Structure 1
């Protein structure tokens, strides 16, 4: 499971970077931003679910 958490964290970070780049464009693509933000939220929710299921230790 830690590899899954690491992988999802990496995906979330890349999505953040991509969103930031798109927002810096002169004319950001609002549909692309919407899709990216929705995907980032899905990844964040998945990470949260994995973290709450993780056994203490």
Structure 2
């Protein structure tokens, strides 16, 4: 086909799916955090970093 999909886009799509699943599972714990927005941000960075390391 000739369609180029950048690798970072694939990583971001997978990370977003994993982040949403983990967010639904750990929602009560996230709301108890000191700063829920900051907790969500760093958890998404951790998920993306783990994907880079292990895929």
* TM-score where L is the length of structure 2: 0.47
Whose helix proportion is higher, 1 or 2?
Answer: 1
